[in-house]
């Protein structure tokens, strides 16, 4: 079991490091993430590298018996890079090229940025691939920076050519006959930049897929040069993130998430989601790692709130759901910078360090939990994205809706939160809330399931290009939707002669109900 | 009586068309609007035209006995156009040049756009001007796209020269001595782009007038080449629209509006407004056409809401107020695109098609209603714009205020909603709510009225250049305003010796009152 | 005692001026501010000046016995200037270069703007420095226009070099090791423009200081050429203003503020703040001038509200707190322009003119009040800025908090609102609410105080570079903070052996309490 957190020693004089190592031992820390934001220290100018300080840190950690999750620092390029390659800075939908001065100032499709990323990753691999402290490679940080620049435009077109072969196929997929958007040539296509009115939702969805694949290429380019330990990256969850984590889970050696929800229900949902991605991608026993969370506090709308639960209590939510480790952001609170008020295990006024020692000690004798759920709920990030399309009949917060279903089911026992396409063999009950977008293969997948199936309103309305698929569920639910209201959502059904498939229940609203109190398939 | 709606057959394979024609006949549809968003189909590349499919559609409609309202497709230029003429894309106040990917991506003052518009309109006129199905030309769609680009700057200066002759006259009109804005040369004037603080309200108002006239020029350039049927365009209502519909009503052969209010009061107000514009512009009997509305649903803040009223019931609101036809957006729901969830007569899960058949049948034997109102309320779009000026003493939602007055009056019988300058002969009672902006001719017009006149606070405060006109109503209301409060609005009056003109009542607040319960002129 | 207001005669024909002078005499006006927005009248083209009209105005005022506060018009450059020097227009964080059409359209670091400012100031000084009506020079207007252009970038780097000498010192001050922001060269540094995520708070704070110093340089460049009367400028208060008024108070000959709060408590706070700045800067008896406020009305969120108090009653709040004059914006209401609805003494429908006559008459026999407070509360604009940093543990409205403390204390007698560094000799009680940012000298200053000292939570948390200074108050309060919650804020203290310093009380929350009911130092 891993226990530790992000460690940014470059913010402190070397004299503090020894104290850190000692405190880490006291807390039974066995893994720290180093180097996430160290690029400007590791490569202070375009042509110089400085690994001396990092050697010292890794050697010190190793001597203290602490393993290292070594990050490639590509999420935060140094000032010299952004000055030298202004075309590598991200551009907003409105055409604003962002400047240095925060983090994540990169365009993942900029050639100079891709080259510089592979270069620094290669240097780190060469120097530390055989270091005895190395346990895990941590590529980048929280992939998710949108960009709409001309590099992206070029790559988007290339990605679309691969996907659609001809412009005619794309026109059909994107329904460009609406609003006179029919393309005659690939070069007419641009990213979904600021435009006059509602954007084409299929273009927007494909751009999100393209961003996800662009990040994935960047990840794989680094993974290819790393060696000596498993390679992962930390997923950041959120409706704004253009990353398809279910798809990515097949490419990481270990599924790892950052998680900052304010309450238990949110944490449990995240944990079951991470395990679901790991299961679907074939990771043994659905193991996953909690890479970041906030020790002792929650971020709420009125500010940081001191947790009423101990670190051990919060950690148990994750541990009971298959986490192989509990990691915090961060070990030692920062002296300055934009996140100096982020809670930490050390140096933040709170007694969490004592709690950490207690948790660390208990983890030493604990093994990862095996979770065996016979109930699953489907969560699909493409549907989450699709529910963000403009001009839908009503506003659905898909993630919250699935989380509510999860909470309702979890009150009675373990629940897997699974992506479309996950193995369905072991489930007695499968709940599919508002799965708006369903490709032909998603339909096949659902029909391959033979247990109790509950489908709610808002499911199966469009295909993978967001084209309407009326009554696509009719053979399953044994009815046709003959009228719809949307405030609130209510489908009026007309039964079909064939009747519903055995075990299938359709709920015509978006309400979350207690399924045990509902007579299924009545 | 017209009955039908927008028909976008290019979104569907030709095999669906025959079914459409048959269903249209079933519903007694006699007019469909075709081609609004067809530019990229009609002119797939700069130098090729493809009318074959439209020939087939028009011929098929004609064979089915259905008339055509043929649109020029200029509201949505094709991708090739926007790629070839990037200077024809609209630019926001902040200088962001918008991109293709929605609709309405044009600058109405861009020479290339104007030329391309006339070209496609001419081609359509040449090919279909004598087509037996042609009933109406529908130029463009919902004029109203703002632009602040350099083409607009040039044209704005030309428009201002015509309006003001000399810079000194403009300086006086715009009160440029405030905040050191005095212009020495025409070329110093720019559109009201993003600036440091409050904009000059007279400049802003003139820019809105200029946009309206720019659209009008674009409309008339197309009207000049069209032939074979009356020419109209569909007015879109809304406080953001820079189009003076009262002025435009003299230039269209038939006043036509798009109307999407969520309730009966809003629909009745729109209908009476449309009739008022038609009356003022001299259209016989104030006839007008409902060009678009949503069948069976309203757009509300919580989403689409299924109407509790039948299509016939909703339509009667318009028909009772002089509409010569009831048209929907749209005939068949779109398979994809940004408005795929827009309600439709066919293909949207609801039983509206049956309602449409019933309405269509009843319309066949109905004639346009003659409305005879002896009460009128004034609605003036220039005052609506002026009420949007920055830094007013309080925020007045002028349109809602006039609508409330309309509703109060309409509870007792027919009401005309008229623009400034409309004939006043037949009215027993004229209500003028918050007519902030009044030119000298508006003052003359009001004084030409000899019936019962009710004027509310907020009326007659500024001239057509938004220059204060203190006590400009004194001779009418027989009093001087000696103090004002604005939260809420309350004028304190001092009576003048001459007294109020006979029949004139002044209400010193913005409250809507039941005039029948008020002893007029007391 | 001064009595009068802003007078913008260029908005009116000369025929109105004589009436103005007569009315001013009637109201006992003895000072009017002229020329604030007259640049386009005074210098109608780059190479011509027109002082004739201003000669006439000043001569007329002098003949009427009215003094002049003569403004340099640099806050609102004329159209010809902004057209000729587009690089002198301000640029937003997002890179939008603003256009002419409002006021304050300048970049204070643009060389052309600085040169033009000195030129017009010199011309005014040469012509009016010996005019008998001249009482006061009023440089510019309400300094505070942000800019992020390339001129600013250059000057920012120069300012930083002076402040930090080497990039390494800056790296340490700005904590650039967080998020890989370490600079290798000065030229890598840019203003805090739009970036991907949270900005570096130390960079942001230094930029605000830099803006303040840039304005100060502009002020001093004009002050250097002016002669014949004391020189001031009107401070505009507000959380968005990048001007350190405590620092500036040493450079103006008279502290002058513009003040538009909606209630008495806000006015009293402003007045005591102005006196505090004057006191700290060594102005005799803390005298200051109310340069602008709104006669008879308050600006509230629901619009202008007629005051329930007379002008004399409102004025007494300022007069009782050391004001040497009461000035309004403005004398005569504007006929047009963005502020035509701003209340005025003449021409705005309200009986304030009669009230003004009464106030003016009473002022003639009144002397500036001497205020002797033995209680002070600290208000520090750098802390106010620092509380605007992103990602703080909770959102603190520092100004409102200090104002609440002020109101609580002021209920029992006079209170000084003082900046850090002000003389502390005479105070029995000093209250320090949430003084987040404290430099070493601020700590020294606080320790130099020997009376009753009340410090609240949120004080002394960071140094002048926003670097954490944990337990920096421990020696004063005799305790260490061992835990913090932030919603709401609550410090948990562990007493230290040495105990609190005599007379020191620490309040561990952000609640405002009635100190007389609190047993101090218990």
Residues 6+ apart with CB under 8 A from B330: B5, B6, B7, B8, B342, B344, B345
- The predicted structure's pLDDT at residue A519: 55
At residue B518, the pLDDT reads 67
| Chain B stretch 164-223, residues whose beta carbon is closer than 8 A to a beta carbon of chain C | 174-185, 187-190, 192-203
Superfamily of domain A2-82+120-145+228-363: Glycosidases (3.20.20.80)
The partner residues of A4 in beta bridges, in order of sequence, read A31, A327
- Decide if A181 and B145 are in contact by the 8 Å CB cutoff: no
CA distance C179 to C177: 6
Distance, CA of C292 to CA of C299 (rounded, Å): 14
- How many CA atoms within 13 Å lie on the side-chain side of A356? 30
Question: Measured between alpha carbons, how far is A514 from A509 in angstroms, rounded to an integer?
Answer: 14
For residue C122, give both structure tokens: 């010199």
d(CA C498, CA C479): 9
At residue C521, the pLDDT reads: 46
**Helices within C387-449 (DSSP H only):** 398-410, 440-447
Q: By C-alpha distance, which of A40, A27, A51, A114 is closest to A73?
A: A40
Collect all residues with Cβ–Cβ distance below 8 Å to A483 and sequence separation of at least 6: A491, A492, B306, B349, B350, B351
Min CA distance, B510 vs chain A (Å)?
A: 33
**B interface mutation test: which of A150, A181, A462 has the most B CBs within 10 A?**
A181
**Residue A146 burial class via C-beta count within 10 angstroms: exposed 0-12, middle 13-18, buried 19 and up:** buried
Contact between C507 and A373 (Cβ < 8 Å) = no
Put simply, the answer to whether B351 touches A483 (Cβ < 8 Å) is yes
**pTM of the predicted model as reported, rounded to 2 decimal places:** 0.97
- What does the alpha-carbon distance between residue A453 and residue A431 come to, in Å, rounded to a whole number? 6
Buried b (16+ CB within 10 A) or exposed e, A29-39: bbbbbbbbbbb
C193:A94 CB<8 A: no
Banded pLDDT at A455 (limits 50, 70, 90) = very high
Is C142 annotated in the active site?
Answer: yes
Is B80 within 8 Å of chain A by CB? yes
What is the domain partition of chain B in residue ranges?
A: 2-82+120-145+228-363, 375-517
Quickly state the pLDDT bin for C518 (edges 50, 70, 90).
Answer: low
User: What tens-digit pLDDT sequence spans chain B (522 residues)?
Assistant: 999 999 999 999 999 999 999 999 999 999 999 999 999 999 999 999 999 999 999 999 999 999 999 999 999 999 999 999 999 999 999 999 999 999 999 999 999 999 999 999 999 999 999 999 999 999 999 999 999 999 999 999 999 999 999 999 999 999 999 999 999 999 999 999 999 999 999 999 999 999 999 999 999 999 999 999 999 999 999 999 999 999 999 999 999 999 999 999 999 999 999 999 999 999 999 999 999 999 999 988 889 999 999 999 999 999 999 999 999 999 999 999 999 999 999 998 778 999 999 999 999 999 999 999 999 999 999 999 999 999 999 999 999 999 999 999 999 999 999 999 999 999 999 999 999 999 999 999 999 999 999 999 999 999 999 999 999 999 999 999 999 999 999 999 999 999 999 999 999 999 999 987 765 544
Active site residue A56: no
Rounded average pLDDT over A485-499: 95
Interface of A with C in 11-50 (CB under 8 A): 11, 37-41, 44-45
Q: CA of A404, closest CA in chain B: separation in Å? A: 20
Return the structure tokens found at C178: 């967080």
Alpha-carbon gap: A58 to the closest alpha carbon of chain B (Å): 49
* Chain B CA closest to residue A92: B96
pLDDT at C522: 44
Mean pLDDT of C257-278: 97
How close is the nearest chain C Cα to the Cα of B459, in Å? Answer: 14
Confidence of residue A522 (pLDDT cuts 50, 70, 90): very low
Query: How many C-alpha atoms does B370 have within 13 Å on its Cβ side?
Result: 3
Q: What is the pLDDT of residue B521?
A: 46
User: What is the spatial order of strands in the sheet that A416-418 belongs to?
Assistant: A416-418, A375-378, A429-432, A452-456, A504-507
Across chain A, what does the average pLDDT equal?
A: 96
With an 8 Å Cβ cutoff, is B250 touching chain A?
no
Q: What is the pLDDT of residue B351?
A: 85
CB C142 within 8 A of CB C124: no
Active-site residue among B204, B292, B355, B381? B292
Q: Which of C94, C390, C486 is nearest residue A303 as measured by Cβ atoms?
A: C486
CA-closest candidate to residue C178, choices B319, A103, B311: A103
Cα gap B269→B260, rounded to integer Å: 12
**Chain A environment of C192 (Cβ under 8 Å):** 101
**What number of residues does chain B have?**
522
Is the domain A375-517 a CATH 3.40.720.10 member?
no
Answer whether B104's CB lies under 8 Å from B76's CB.
Answer: yes
Digit-coded pLDDT (tens) for C390-441: 999 999 999 999 999 999 999 999 999 999 999 999 999 999 999 999 999 9
Q: Using pLDDT thresholds of 50, 70 and 90, give the confidence band for residue A518.
A: low
pLDDT digits (tens, 9 = 90+) for C331-348: 999 999 999 999 999 998
What does residue B421 show for φ and ψ, rounded to 5 degrees? 100, -5
CB < 8 Å to A340, chain C? 175, 178, 201, 462, 466-468
**Per-residue confidence (pLDDT) for residue B522, from 0 to 100:** 45
């Amino acid at each position: 079991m891993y226990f530790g957190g992000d460690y940014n020693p470059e913010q402190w004089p070397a004299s503090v490091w020894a104290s850190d190592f000692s405190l880490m031992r006291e807390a039974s820390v066995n893994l720290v993430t180093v180097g996430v934001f160290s690029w400007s220290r590791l490569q202070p100018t375009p042509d110089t590298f400085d690994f001396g300080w990092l050697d010292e840190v890794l050697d010190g950690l190793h001597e203290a018996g602490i393993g290292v999750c070594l990050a490639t620092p590509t999420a935060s390029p140094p000032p010299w890079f952004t000055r030298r390659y202004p075309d590598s800075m991200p551009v907003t939908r409105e055409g604003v090229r962002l400047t240095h001065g925060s983090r994540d100032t990169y365009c993942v499709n900029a050639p100079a940025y891709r080259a510089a990323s592979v270069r620094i990753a290669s240097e780190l691999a060469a120097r530390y691939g055989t270091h005895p402290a190395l346990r895990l490679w941590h590529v980048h940080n929280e992939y998710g920076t949108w960009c709409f620049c001309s590099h992206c435009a070029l790559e988007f077109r290339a990605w679309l050519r691969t996907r659609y072969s001809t412009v005619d196929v794309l026109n059909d997929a994107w329904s460009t006959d609406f609003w006179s958007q029919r393309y005659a040539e690939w070069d007419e296509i641009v990213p979904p930049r600021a435009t006059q009115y509602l954007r084409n939702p299929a273009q927007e969805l494909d751009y999100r897929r393209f961003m996800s694949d662009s990040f994935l290429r960047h990840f794989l380019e680094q993974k290819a040069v790393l060696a000596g330990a498993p390679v992962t990256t930390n997923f950041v969850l959120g409706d704004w993130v253009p990353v398809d984590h279910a798809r990515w889970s097949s490419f990481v050696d270990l599924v790892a998430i950052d998680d900052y929800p304010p309450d238990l229900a949110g944490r449990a949902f995240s944990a079951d989601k991470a395990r679901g991605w790991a299961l679907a991608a074939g990771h043994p026993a659905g193991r996953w790692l909690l890479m970041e969370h906030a020790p002792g506090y929650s971020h709420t709308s009125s500010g940081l709130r001191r947790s009423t639960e101990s670190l051990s209590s919060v950690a148990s939510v994750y541990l009971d759901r298959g986490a192989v480790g509990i990691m915090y952001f961060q070990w030692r609170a920062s002296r300055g910078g934009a996140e100096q008020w982020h809670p930490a295990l050390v140096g933040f006024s709170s007694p969490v360090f004592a709690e950490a020692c207690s948790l660390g000690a208990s983890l030493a004798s604990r093994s990862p939990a095996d979770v065996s759920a016979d109930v699953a709920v489907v969560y699909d990030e493409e549907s989450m994205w699709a529910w963000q399309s403009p001009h839908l009949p009503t506003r659905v917060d898909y993630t919250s809706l699935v989380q509510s279903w999860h909470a309702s089911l979890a009150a009675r026992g373990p629940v897997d939160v699974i992506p479309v396409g996950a193995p369905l063999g072991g489930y007695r009950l499968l709940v599919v809330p508002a799965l708006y977008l369903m490709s032909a293969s998603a339909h096949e997948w659902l029909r391959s399931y033979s247990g109790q199936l509950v489908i709610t309103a808002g499911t199966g309305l469009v295909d993978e290009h967001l084209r309407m698929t009326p009554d696509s569920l009719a053979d399953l639910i044994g009815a046709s939707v003959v009228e719809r209201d949307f405030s609130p959502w209510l489908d009026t059904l007309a039964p079909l002669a064939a009747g519903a498939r055995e075990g299938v229940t359709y709920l015509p609203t978006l309400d979350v109900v207690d399924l045990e109190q509902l007579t299924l398939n009545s």
